């Protein structure tokens, strides 16, 4: 069997996406909640190199949008005013990685010009900035929730497989119970018990904890299977025969065996949990306005007119495609490399 | 000469005939049809309208839900009707009426010789019976609240088979308007259930169609639960067109149940329905784009009577029970705080973003759609963050180092605004206000709630801090507004629990509203109501924001289609509607 090559493109794409959302403050030209009420539903700005007189510019520029008088959300490019693209411009304040106060942005225009790479939403907020900030919530929620799920799953799976007997029976029946749980309704119920007004960070934390703790059963069962076979291996029996403690045996010989399964599971769970966050926020149960998340951004499409008139509002949905593709290729690769390679 | 004599003779004979008819009920009088002023149309065809929900009952006494009332409105008739186009009263089942000098006694001359939809004659007994039912406390009809002025019910007495006398305890400037929409019931069918005490259970959705009878242009034909209600033509209807053809023109009206507004749009675009009663601005834009090619027309009727506002919880039953809210109410009760917020709200932005320009900014509750009663001198200050800051400072608020607004105890000003998740526009308004207030250093969050939970918090538990909501006046007259501005009113939303007016301006509102009811002169009454508007704009018990335009759509080729800004916007003249060709 030929070994699969490392999917470099995928790792690059995912790396870029995570990098962009981690440094959202820097990469995004504007504050994601800032409303530009004169430009609702403005279409994406086009970069140009040739101006109206046919002259070539080395520095890309854009034309400002001017709204047509009396008509909602219809714009014309103002050809008299080319606005050159600038890099490292000063703009709104943000905290780099949540720590460093900063006001430089990767790109932008001289004020008062505004650039909208992916257009604007119904409040005139920059869709590109919201996509990055929203991605931070959606992508990180997936990652953190998956880590949480895997940790709980490993703990329970190892305990169940290693000790066997009554503990195994109890834990696995519990896992089945969790698998059978209609988790969407569970989340509805959990949200209903919480106070009305929770800050976006609390909402985020809550979402991650709920999604993460609900999903431990599958990894737990998989880990248990690996542990069951691993604990009968001769070297494990030898280690125990030499008087190795349970903790030592698990840490030294059993856990390393589960790594392949865990990483593969992780690559499968992350996109699943991203989707869970998107679903919940879409339904208004996740992170609330004005803070962006891909789910609540897509929520705007619940209005038929928005869905049928402004295609750029679909951007968060489109952004999900490379993420899903990336993770699935990655899971495939890990599965082959780490599990069959064993 | 001879011709004159013949004419005279005819008149005498007619008089004799009518005299005979009055004495014996069995021989009905000549039918006195009402001539409708609309364009003369042609018979036939079917109209399909969509409904958001299913009608829950077909009983006019118990129907409180909107779909039921929309259907019942077509099946029944009232004594005096408000013309939706002119906003003035006009004769309906009462052919004419006189008012006594003190405004307390009305004498109504009923239309003679007309029949219910089952062919049985109508007379004063039906009128007396209907009011007896509505005013009976045991029946719990919604009409009872309307017909009770100043704690005393009106009395209805039969003078002769075609005359009734109505007495009011006190003069009421808008007494004629009370009768609009109050259906006259058939005594011959409902007297027995009424006496048995089973009236509330009769005329449900499972009743056979032929047993449901009214005086309206249409009668029930078929009820398919969860799908549609079909009304057929009432062959005995009492209106005719200029050529004497009996109305209605249409054979059928079908009410389809379509769950959401977006679904309504799609069904309409597909040609499944013929009229959309009320459109949101974005769907209006959507339909306007292809109205030429698809054979329908959208209409913007201008501002209606709906006013959307920001409401602060000023209920005084929160102390102890809801300490967190009670603490924040110290801000909400401060008029300068409310004025500051009103100054900070970008009404122009709301009109543009939420309503795509198809709305009017409001600084008080009377909308420009109410041409007779609006006080155009109410100041309309534009948005001003500076003014808002001044007002907050004057009220003892300061800003801390991070730019957050804090009260005199050093507590940060944070509150939440509830909205109903089913109303997209109001949630958007709340999101814009949230952003405006963030600039003032207030931390505001918007919480969309499911509609019933939302209403329960506002009207019952009072467990909210602020809310964006809207009200629609049923009529252009100030009287339906009584329940909002009177301190004891059932929709006195900002402080529902108060027994006595909590503030001097609320007692002034009470006084003004009571006075305007009994003032018969329009000018004097207008002056009183102007003052009400002034107080609302100044004291801001509710912070009015915007009034959306009434937007409707209808298929081309529908004759006499004249939507109006009064509810029901499109089907108020259902009897006159006709298809120009089919």
What are the tens digits of pLDDT across the range A233-249?
888 888 888 888 888 88
Query: How far is the alpha carbon of A304 from chain B, nearest alpha carbon, in Å?
Result: 6
A308 and B CB contact within 8 Å: yes
Q: How far is A200 from chain B (nearest CA, A)?
A: 10
Q: Which residues contact A279 (CB under 8 A, 6 or more apart)?
A: A184, A295
Asked if B224 contacts B231 with a C-beta cutoff of 8 angstroms, the reply is no
Q: Which of B283, B285, B437 to mutate to test the interface with A (most CBs of A within 10 A)?
A: B285
Residues from chain B contacting residue A123 (CB–CB below 8 Å):
353, 428, 431-432, 435
Phi, psi (deg, nearest 5) at residue A197: -105, 110
User: Residue B546 CA to chain centroid, in angstroms?
Assistant: 18
Q: Label residue A341 by pLDDT band (50, 70, 90).
A: low
Determine which helix (DSSP H) or strand (DSSP E) holds B534, and give its type and residue range: helix B522-539
Please provide the distance, in angstroms rounded to a whole number, between the alpha carbons at the two ends of chain A. 14
Evaluate if residue A289 carries a pLDDT over 50: yes
Phi, psi of B55 (to 5 degrees): -65, 135
| Mean pLDDT value of segment A99-123 | 84
Given a contact cutoff of 8 angstroms between Cβ atoms, the answer to whether A295 and A287 are in contact is yes
B171 phi and psi angles, rounded to 5 deg: -60, 145
- Predicted confidence (pLDDT) at residue A40 exceeds the cutoff of 80: yes
Please tell me the distance from the alpha carbon of residue A49 to that of residue A58, in angstroms, as a whole number. Answer: 7
Mean pLDDT of A165-192: 83
**Which residue in chain B has the smallest CA separation from A124?**
B353
Please report, for residues B420, B448, B453, B495, the alpha-carbon distance to residue B456 in angstroms, rounded to integers and kept in the order given: 11, 14, 5, 14
Q: What percent of chain B has pLDDT over 70?
A: 94
The pTM (predicted TM-score) of the whole model is 0.85
Q: B252 with B230: CB under 8 angstroms?
A: yes
Strand B34-35 to B239-240 pairing? parallel
> A36 vs chain B: nearest CA distance in angstroms?
10
Which of A38, A289, A305 lies at the smallest CB-CB distance from B282? A305
* Chain B nearest C-alpha distance from A129 (Å): 17
**A190 pLDDT exceeds 80?**
no
Residue B387: Cβ within 10 Å count: 16
Residue A130 has pLDDT above 90, yes or no: yes
Query: How distant is the Cα of A34 from the closest Cα of chain B, in angstroms?
Result: 8
Residues in B touching A284 (Cβ below 8 Å): 421, 448
Rounded mean pLDDT, B49-59 = 88
Whole-angstrom Cα distance, residue B501 to residue B485? 11
Residues in A touching B285 (Cβ below 8 Å):
72, 305, 309
Residues A134 and A32: beta-carbon distance below 8 Å: yes
Instruction: Count chain A–chain B contacts defined by CB atoms under 8 A.
Output: 64
A197–B286 CB contact, under 8 Å: no
Q: How many CA atoms lie within 13 A of B383 on its CB side?
A: 17
Contact B418 A196 (CB under 8 A): yes
How many Å lie between the alpha carbon of A187 and the closest alpha carbon of chain B?
Answer: 16
Q: Is A234 touching B (CB cutoff 8 A)?
A: no
Measured between beta carbons, which residues in chain B are less than 8 angstroms from residue A35? 349, 432, 435
CB contact (8 A) between residue A37 and residue B353: yes
Task: Measure CA of the first residue to CA of the last residue in chain B; give whole Å.
Answer: 51
> For residue B419, with 0-12 CB atoms within 10 Å meaning exposed, 13-18 middle and 19 or more buried, which class applies?
buried
Q: Indicate where chain A has its CATH 1.10.3720.10 domain(s).
A: 131-341
Q: Which chain A residues are closer than 8 Å to B428 by Cβ?
A: 122-123
Are B183 and B125 in contact by the 8 Å Cβ rule? The answer is no
Beta bridge mates, B48: B254
Nearest C-alpha of chain A: how many angstroms from B213?
Answer: 40
State residue B51's pLDDT score: 87
Task: Specify which of A76-80, B175-179, B252-256 reaches the highest per-range mean pLDDT.
Answer: B252-256
Residue B324 backbone zone (phi > 0: left; psi -120 to 50: alpha; other: beta): alpha
User: pLDDT band at residue B577, thresholds of 50, 70 and 90?
Assistant: very high
Contact B481, B373 (CB under 8 A): no
- Which residue of A289, A306, A308, A310 to mutate against B (max B Cβ within 10 Å)? A289
Give the pLDDT of residue A1: 46
Between A80 and B98, the more confident residue is B98
* pLDDT, position B2: 46
To which residue do tokens 């928005």 refer?
A306
Given CB atoms, is B168 within the 8 Å cutoff of chain A?
Answer: no
CB-based contact, B269 to chain A, within 8 Å: no
Q: How far is residue B469's CA from residue B473's CA, in Å, rounded to a whole number?
A: 14
Please, which pLDDT band fits residue A199 given cuts at 50, 70 and 90? confident
Is B20 a residue whose pLDDT tops 50?
Answer: no
pLDDT surpassing 60 at residue B572: yes
Tokens at B424, concatenated: 């997209």
pLDDT above 60: residue B534: yes
Chain A residues whose beta carbon lies within 8 Å of the beta carbon of residue B283: 304-305
- Look at residue B11 in the predicted model and tell me its pLDDT: 42
Q: What is the pLDDT of residue B233?
A: 94
Residue predicted with more confidence, B16 or B6: B6
Using a CB–CB cutoff of 8 Å, tell me whether A289 touches chain B.
yes
What is the reported pLDDT for B17?
41
The values of phi and psi at residue B525, to 5°, are: -70, -40
Q: Does B404 touch chain A (CB under 8 A)?
A: no
Q: Do A197 and B447 touch (CB under 8 A)?
A: yes
Which residue of chain B is at minimal alpha-carbon distance from A284? B448
Q: Which residue of B259, B268, B287, B356 is the best one to mutate when testing the A interface, meaning the one whose CB has the most A CBs within 10 A?
A: B356
Q: How far is the C-alpha of B56 from the C-alpha of B202, rounded, in Å?
A: 13
- Which residues is A102 bridged to in the sheet? A94
The pLDDT confidence band at residue B23, using thresholds 50, 70 and 90, is very low
Nearest chain A CA: its distance from B370 CA (Å):
24
Which residue of A30, A33, A37, A203 to mutate against B (max B Cβ within 10 Å)? A37
Choose the mutation target among B346, B347, B349 for the interface with A, i.e. most A CBs under 10 Å. Answer: B349
Q: Residue B179 and residue B182: Cα distance in Å, rounded?
A: 5
**Contact A226/A264 with Cβ under 8 angstroms?**
no
* A310 vs B contacts (CB less than 8 Å): none
User: For residue B543, how far is the Cα from the chain centroid?
Assistant: 21
Q: Which of B286, B435, B449 sits opposite A305 (nearest CB)?
A: B286
Does the CB of A305 have a partner CB in chain B at under 8 Å? Answer: yes
Taking the C-alpha atoms of residue B38 and residue B560, their distance in angstroms, rounded to an integer, is 6
CB-CB contact of A119 with A43 (8 Å)? yes
Is the predicted pLDDT of residue B4 greater than 50, yes or no?
no
- pLDDT tens readout for residues B450-467: 888 889 899 888 999 999
> What is residue B25's predicted lDDT score, i.e. its pLDDT?
44
Over the stretch B550-559, which tens digit does the pLDDT of each residue have? 999 999 999 9
Please report the pLDDT score of residue B297 as a whole number.
Answer: 92
Q: Rounded mean pLDDT of B289-312? A: 91
- At B361 the three-state DSSP class reads strand
Residue of B nearest to A122 (CA): B353
Q: Are B292 and B280 in contact (CB under 8 A)?
A: no
Contact (CB<8Å) A72/B346: no
Are the beta carbons of A90 and A101 closer than 8 angstroms?
no
Domain A131-341 has CATH 1.10.3720.10: yes
Phi, psi of A75, deg, nearest 5: -130, 155
Mean pLDDT of the A264-270 span: 91
pLDDT category of residue B216 using cuts at 50, 70 and 90? very high
Which of B262, B434, B448 minimises the CB distance to A284? B448
Tens-digit pLDDT profile for residues B472-524? 887 888 888 888 898 888 888 999 877 888 899 999 999 999 898 888 889 99
3-class SS at A150? Answer: helix
DSSP, res B440? T
Contacts of A202 in chain B (CB under 8 A): none
Does A339 or B116 have the greater pLDDT score? B116
pLDDT of the residue at A4: 67
Q: A190-204, B192-206, B218-232, B383-397: which has the minimum mean pLDDT?
A: A190-204
Query: Is the CB of residue B288 less than 8 Å away from at least one CB of chain A?
Result: no
The label of the residue with tokens 């907050």 reads: B392
Per-residue pLDDT reduced to its tens digit, B60-91: 988 888 888 889 999 999 999 999 888 889 99
Mean pLDDT of chain A: 85
Look at B9-18, B205-214, B529-538, B564-573 and tell me which has the smallest mean pLDDT: B9-18
Give the DSSP letter of residue B249: -
Q: What is the rounded distance in angstroms from the CA atom of residue B55 to the CA atom of residue B479?
A: 28
Contacts of A303 in chain B (CB under 8 A): 262, 282, 424
B290 close contact with A: CB closer than 8 A: no
What would you report as the CA-atom Rg of chain B, rounded to the nearest whole angstrom?
A: 26
A91 or B351, which is more confident?
B351
Contacts of B445 in chain A (CB under 8 A): 197, 199, 288
Percentage of chain B lying above the pLDDT 90 cut = 58
């Amino acid at each position: 069997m030929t070994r699969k090559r490392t999917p470099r493109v995928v790792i690059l794409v995912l790396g870029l996406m995570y990098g962009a959302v981690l440094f959202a403050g820097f990469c995004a030209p504007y504050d994601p909640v800032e409303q530009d009420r004169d430009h609702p539903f403005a279409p994406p700005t086009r970069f140009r190199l040739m101006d109206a007189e046919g002259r070539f510019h080395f520095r890309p520029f854009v034309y400002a949008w001017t709204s047509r008088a009396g008509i909602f959300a219809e714009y014309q490019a103002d050809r008299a005013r080319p606005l050159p693209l600038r890099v490292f411009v000063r703009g709104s304040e943000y905290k780099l990685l949540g720590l460093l106060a900063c006001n430089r942005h990767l790109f932008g225009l001289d004020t008062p010009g505004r650039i909208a790479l992916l257009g604007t939403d119904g409040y005139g907020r920059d869709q590109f900035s919201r996509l990055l900030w929203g991605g931070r919530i959606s992508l990180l929620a997936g990652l953190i929730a998956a880590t949480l799920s895997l940790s709980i799953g490993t703990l329970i799976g190892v305990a169940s497989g290693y000790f066997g007997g009554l503990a195994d029976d109890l834990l696995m029946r519990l896992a089945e119970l969790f698998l059978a749980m209609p988790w969407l309704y569970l989340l509805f119920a959990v949200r209903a018990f919480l106070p009305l007004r929770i800050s976006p960070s609390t909402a985020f934390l809550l979402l991650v904890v709920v999604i993460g703790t609900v999903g431990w059963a599958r990894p737990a069962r998989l880990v248990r299977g690996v542990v069951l076979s691993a604990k009968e291996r001769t070297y494990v029996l030898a280690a125990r025969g030499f008087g190795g403690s349970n903790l030592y045996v698990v840490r030294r010989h059993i856990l390393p065996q589960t790594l392949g399964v865990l990483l593969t599971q992780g690559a499968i769970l992350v996109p699943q949990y991203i989707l869970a966050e998107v679903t919940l926020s879409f339904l208004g149960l996740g992170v609330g306005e004005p803070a962006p998340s891909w789910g609540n951004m897509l929520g705007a499409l619940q209005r038929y007119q928005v869905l049928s008139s402004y295609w750029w509002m679909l951007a968060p949905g489109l952004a999900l495609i490379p993420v899903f593709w990336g993770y699935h290729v990655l899971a495939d690769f890990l599965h082959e490399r780490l599990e069959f390679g064993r | 000469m001879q011709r004159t004599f013949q004419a005279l003779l005819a008149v005498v004979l007619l008089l004799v005939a009518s005299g005979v008819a009055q004495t014996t009920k069995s021989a009905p009088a000549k039918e006195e049809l009402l001539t409708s002023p609309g364009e003369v149309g042609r018979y036939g065809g079917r109209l399909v309208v969509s409904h958001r929900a299913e009608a829950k009952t077909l009983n006019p006494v118990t129907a409180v839900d909107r779909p039921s009332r929309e259907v019942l409105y077509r099946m029944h008739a009232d004594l005096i009707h408000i013309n939706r186009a002119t906003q003035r009263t006009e004769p309906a089942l009462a052919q004419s009426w006189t008012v006594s000098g003190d405004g307390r006694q009305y004498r109504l001359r009923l239309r003679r010789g007309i029949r219910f939809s089952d062919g049985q004659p109508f007379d004063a007994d039906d009128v007396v019976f209907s009011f007896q039912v509505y005013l009976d406390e045991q029946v719990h009809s919604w009409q009872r609240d309307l017909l009770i002025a100043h704690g005393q019910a009106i009395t209805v007495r039969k003078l002769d088979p075609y005359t009734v006398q109505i007495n009011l305890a006190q003069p009421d400037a808008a007494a004629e308007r009370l009768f609009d929409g109050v259906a006259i019931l058939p005594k011959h069918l409902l007297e027995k259930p009424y006496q048995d005490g089973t009236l509330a259970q009769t005329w449900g959705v499972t009743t056979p169609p032929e047993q449901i009878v009214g005086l309206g242009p249409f009668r029930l034909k078929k009820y398919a639960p969860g799908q549609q209600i079909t009304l057929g033509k009432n062959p005995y209807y009492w209106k005719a067109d200029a050529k004497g053809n009996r109305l209605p023109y249409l054979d059928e009206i079908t009410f389809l149940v379509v769950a959401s507004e977006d679904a309504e749009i799609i069904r309409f675009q597909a040609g499944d329905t013929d009229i959309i009663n009320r459109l949101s601005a974005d769907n209006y834009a959507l339909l306007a784009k292809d109205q030429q090619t698809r054979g329908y027309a959208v209409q913007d009727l201008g501002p209606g009577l709906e006013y959307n506002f920001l409401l602060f919880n000023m209920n005084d039953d929160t102390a102890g029970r809801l300490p967190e809210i009670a603490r924040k109410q110290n801000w909400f009760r401060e008029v300068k705080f409310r004025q500051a917020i009103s100054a900070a709200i970008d009404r122009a932005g709301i009109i543009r973003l939420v309503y795509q320009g198809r709305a009017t900014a409001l600084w008080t509750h009377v909308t420009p759609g109410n041409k007779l009663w609006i006080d155009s001198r109410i100041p309309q200050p534009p948005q001003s963050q500076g003014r808002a800051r001044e007002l907050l400072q004057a009220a003892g608020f300061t800003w801390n180092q991070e730019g957050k607004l804090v009260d005199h105890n050093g507590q940060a000003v944070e509150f939440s605004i509830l909205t109903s998740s089913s109303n997209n526009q109001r949630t958007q308004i709340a999101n814009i206000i949230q952003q405006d207030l963030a600039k003032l250093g207030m931390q505001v969050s918007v919480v969309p709630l499911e509609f019933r939970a939302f209403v329960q918090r506002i009207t019952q538990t009072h467990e909210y801090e602020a809310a964006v909501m809207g009200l629609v006046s049923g009529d252009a007259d100030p009287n339906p507004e009584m329940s909002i501005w009177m301190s004891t009113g059932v929709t006195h939303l900002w402080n529902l629990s108060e027994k006595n007016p909590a503030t001097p301006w609320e007692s002034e509102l009470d006084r003004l509203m009571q006075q305007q009811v009994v003032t018969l002169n329009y000018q004097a009454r207008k002056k009183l109501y102007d003052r009400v508007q002034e107080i609302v704009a100044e004291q801001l018990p509710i912070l009015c924001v915007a009034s959306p335009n009434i937007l409707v759509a209808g298929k081309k080729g529908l004759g006499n289609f004249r939507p109006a800004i009064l509810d029901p916007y499109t089907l108020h003249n259902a009897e006159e509607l006709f298809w120009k060709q089919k």
